[in-house]
């Protein structure tokens, strides 16, 4: 009885493996034949567009290699910065995201991209295909405009059937599991926004449920050219396919249909704070001059990114020497006095835990802010993180876990009463730092492509440290401690509040689920 079962199991596994290899081979041939025409960022000029005329005088006051960076952490402000820069653009908009939701803020930014295209602006929109399901009608309508091209990173060929898409994802798991996690918004090759935000209501404080606390850097100068260079490398890579190559039938929505949808979206959102913020005085000039948003200038500000080949299903095409991981680890290894880490998904692995523990043992102040179980939108990640807490705490690392709602500011309360950490940032010795898309976990290190900004500037570092302090204060986060007398963890908040001896505010069922998931051999995928 056992032998037939083993035989059929072996045959099934062999067939599945052959189908997987065939699916990978077939997709590779298709992607090679469907490559779009290469293109590159349109060069900035001294005084051709409004953004040229605004930015060029500021650049003239600094060395050619210098860049300006302003921290943008307010959700509404982040939305307005994207929309206003799109309205100011007269030459090009290059936009790259892991997630683009077709919700209120996503629709409004789709409208801004289309409005720019209708003014003659060239728009290149690059989105990872993992979360594009259901968006094809809107994206195809945009793609049908002569000034817009939409491309997808590592897309599924099956666009109409959810079941077939899932089957393809399963058969191509080795390749499909590797995603483009980059986030960039570039206007006229003069202004860029790079950071941790995707496009969607929860990233701009517009969700009725839970909003993400996040951060971008608004960039001027040499760093914008670096951002455009990274964008071009992805846009022209073998992993990217034009949306039009994935469809044979005409789009369901014509440009006229899409225009009507856009007008309805504007009407539906007319009373929202996001439309009202755009309806006010256009203060983009003041913001870019630093009147309203502190801009820090330094030649040390650089945009770094993984190469698109990191996401290749073929191991021989992946060259780890060029990965962002090494920029991040170089930064963290340089700590002598303090190392502060903000990471919503924190799974340090044995190597990361050893590095942070070793630093703490040698007198470096190591502080980590991450999500609590009830604030984490991915419980499986918390299952991977929970086992490292005791080791880190015993060696002197300070751990803080964000509460699900108390950390909201007045502006953030526009959307919901829930909060989840999404900022990815590090600060070392109060001087050097990183803001971007890189989580301190195996997925960011080994699977997904990531990007961000590294800097060596005390003023910018101080602002990022302030973000940490804001998130780690007792009203916003629980401090996790090791209780030697009990041989267990405890969570403390503000003075007089309850001391927790299990994951705060979590149900027994959720704690049991996370405990069970912690035994799954999936850490490399987290």
- pLDDT single digits (tens) 266-276: 999 999 988 88
Cα separation, 400 vs 197, whole angstroms: 22
Two tokens, residue 481: 């401690």
Sign of CA dihedral 232, 238, 239, 245: positive
How does residue 147 score in pLDDT terms, banded at 50, 70 and 90? very high
* Backbone φ, ψ for residue 93 (5° rounding): -135, 120
Among 513, 498, 465, CA closest to 369: 465
Q: What is the pTM of this model?
A: 0.94
- pLDDT single digits (tens) 455-502: 999 999 999 999 999 999 999 999 999 998 889 999 999 888 899 999
Query: What is the predicted pLDDT for the residue at 421?
Result: 94
* Backbone φ, ψ for residue 96 (5° rounding): -135, 120
Among 386, 343, 360, 388, CA closest to 502: 386
**Do the strands 210-213 and 418-421 form a parallel or antiparallel pair, or are they unpaired?**
parallel
- pLDDT single digits (tens) 195-218: 999 999 999 999 988 899 999 999
How does residue 146 score in pLDDT terms, banded at 50, 70 and 90? very high
pLDDT at residue 154 tops 50: yes
DSSP annotation of 445: I
How does residue 13 score in pLDDT terms, banded at 50, 70 and 90? confident
CATH class of 319-525: alpha beta
The residue to which tokens 């994935």 are assigned: 246
- pLDDT single digits (tens) 392-412: 999 999 999 999 975 443 333
**Lowest-pLDDT choice from 413-427, 481-495, 508-522:** 413-427
How does residue 304 score in pLDDT terms, banded at 50, 70 and 90? very high
Query: What is the predicted pLDDT for the residue at 2?
Result: 56
Mean pLDDT of 64-74: 96
**Lowest-pLDDT choice from 301-315, 388-402, 450-464:** 301-315
Query: What is the predicted pLDDT for the residue at 263?
Result: 96
- pLDDT single digits (tens) 360-384: 999 999 999 999 999 998 999 999 9
Query: What is the predicted pLDDT for the residue at 413?
Result: 30
Query: What is the predicted pLDDT for the residue at 526?
Result: 84
The CA-to-CA distance between both ends of the chain, in Å, stands at 38
354-367 burial, b for 16+ CB within 10 Å, e for fewer?
ebbbebbeeebebb
Per the CB < 8 A criterion, the answer to whether 142 and 113 are in contact is: yes
Two tokens, residue 307: 């190469």
For the annotated catalytic residues, the residue numbers are 181, 183, 188, 422, 424, 429
Cα separation, 28 vs 24, whole angstroms: 6
Query: What is the predicted pLDDT for the residue at 12?
Result: 74
How does residue 290 score in pLDDT terms, banded at 50, 70 and 90? low
Query: What is the predicted pLDDT for the residue at 255?
Result: 94
Query: What is the predicted pLDDT for the residue at 376?
Result: 92
Cross-strand bridge partners of residue 482: 489
Per the CB < 8 A criterion, the answer to whether 104 and 269 are in contact is: yes
Could you check whether 19-39+66-288 and 319-525 share the same CATH topology?
yes
* Vertex 154 angle, CA 173 and 237, to 5°: 135
Query: What is the predicted pLDDT for the residue at 414?
Result: 35
Cα separation, 168 vs 132, whole angstroms: 15
- pLDDT single digits (tens) 473-484: 999 999 999 998
Q: Which residue has the higher pLDDT, 248 or 219?
A: 219
> Between 50-60 and 75-88, two packed helices, what is the crossing angle to 10 degrees?
110
Average pLDDT over the chain, rounded to an integer: 91
Q: Where are the domains of the chain?
A: 19-39+66-288, 319-525
| DSSP code per residue over 24-64 | HHHHHHHHHHTPPPP--PPPP-SSSSHHHHHHHHHHHTS-T
Per the CB < 8 A criterion, the answer to whether 412 and 422 are in contact is: no
Residue 524 neighbours by CB under 8 Å, 6+ apart: 442, 446
pLDDT at residue 415 tops 60: no
- For domain 19-39+66-288, the CATH architecture is 2-Layer Sandwich (3.30)
| DSSP code per residue over 359-422 | HHHTT-EEEEEEE-TTT-S-HHHHHHHHTTHHHHHHTT-EEEEE-SSTT--TTGGGT-SEEEE-
Q: Which residue has the higher pLDDT, 354 or 28?
A: 354
């Amino acid at each position: 009885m056992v032998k037939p079962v083993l035989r059929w199991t072996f045959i099934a596994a062999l067939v599945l493996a052959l189908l997987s290899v065939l699916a990978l081979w077939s997709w590779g041939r298709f992607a090679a034949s469907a490559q779009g025409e290469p293109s590159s960022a349109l060069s900035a000029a001294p005084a051709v567009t409004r953004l040229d005329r605004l930015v060029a005088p500021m650049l003239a006051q600094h060395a050619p290699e210098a860049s300006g960076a302003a921290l943008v952490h307010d959700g509404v402000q982040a939305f307005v910065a994207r929309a206003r820069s799109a309205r100011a653009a007269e030459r090009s908009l290059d936009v790259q995201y892991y997630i683009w939701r077709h919700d209120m803020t996503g629709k409004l930014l789709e409208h801004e991209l289309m409005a720019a295209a209708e003014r003659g602006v060239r728009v290149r929109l690059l989105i990872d295909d993992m979360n594009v399901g259901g968006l094809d009608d809107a994206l195809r309508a945009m793609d049908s405009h002569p000034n817009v091209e939409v491309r997808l990173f590592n897309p599924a060929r099956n666009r109409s059937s959810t079941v077939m898409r899932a089957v393809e994802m399963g058969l191509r798991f080795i390749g499909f599991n590797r995603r483009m996690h980059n986030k960039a918004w570039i206007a006229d090759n003069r202004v860029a926004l790079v950071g941790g935000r995707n496009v969607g209501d929860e990233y701009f404080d517009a969700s009725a449920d839970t909003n993400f606390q996040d951060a971008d850097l608004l960039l001027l100068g040499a760093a914008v050219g670096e951002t455009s260079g990274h964008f071009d490398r992805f846009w022209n890579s073998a992993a990217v396919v034009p949306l039009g190559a994935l469809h044979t039938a005409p789009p369901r929505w014509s440009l006229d249909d899409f225009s009507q949808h856009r007008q309805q979206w504007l009407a539906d959102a007319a009373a929202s704070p996001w439309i009202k913020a755009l309806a006010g005085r256009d203060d983009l000039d003041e913001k870019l001059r630093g009147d309203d948003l502190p801009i820090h200038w330094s030649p040390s500000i650089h945009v770094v990114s993984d190469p698109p080949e990191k996401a290749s299903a073929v191991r021989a095409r992946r060259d780890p020497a060029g990965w962002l991981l090494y920029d991040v680890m170089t930064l963290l290894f340089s700590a002598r006095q303090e190392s502060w880490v903000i990471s919503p998904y924190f799974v340090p692995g044995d190597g990361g835990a050893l590095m942070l523990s070793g630093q703490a043992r040698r007198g470096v102040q190591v502080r980590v802010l991450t999500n609590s179980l009830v604030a984490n939108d991915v419980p499986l990640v918390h299952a991977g993180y929970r086992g490292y807490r005791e080791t880190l705490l015993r060696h002197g690392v300070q751990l803080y876990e964000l509460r699900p709602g108390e950390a909201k500011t007045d502006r953030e309360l526009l959307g919901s009463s829930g909060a989840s950490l999404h900022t990815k940032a590090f600060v070392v010795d109060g001087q050097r730092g990183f803001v971007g898309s890189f989580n301190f976990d195996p997925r960011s290190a080994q699977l997904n492509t990531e990007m961000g900004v590294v800097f060596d500037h005390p003023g910018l570092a101080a602002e990022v440290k302030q973000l940490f302090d804001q998130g780690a204060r007792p009203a916003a986060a629980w401090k996790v401690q090791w209780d030697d007398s009990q041989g267990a963890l405890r969570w403390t908040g503000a003075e007089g509040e309850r001391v927790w001896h299990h994951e705060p505010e979590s149900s027994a069922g959720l704690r049991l689920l996370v405990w069970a998931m912690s035994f799954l051999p999936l850490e490399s995928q987290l």
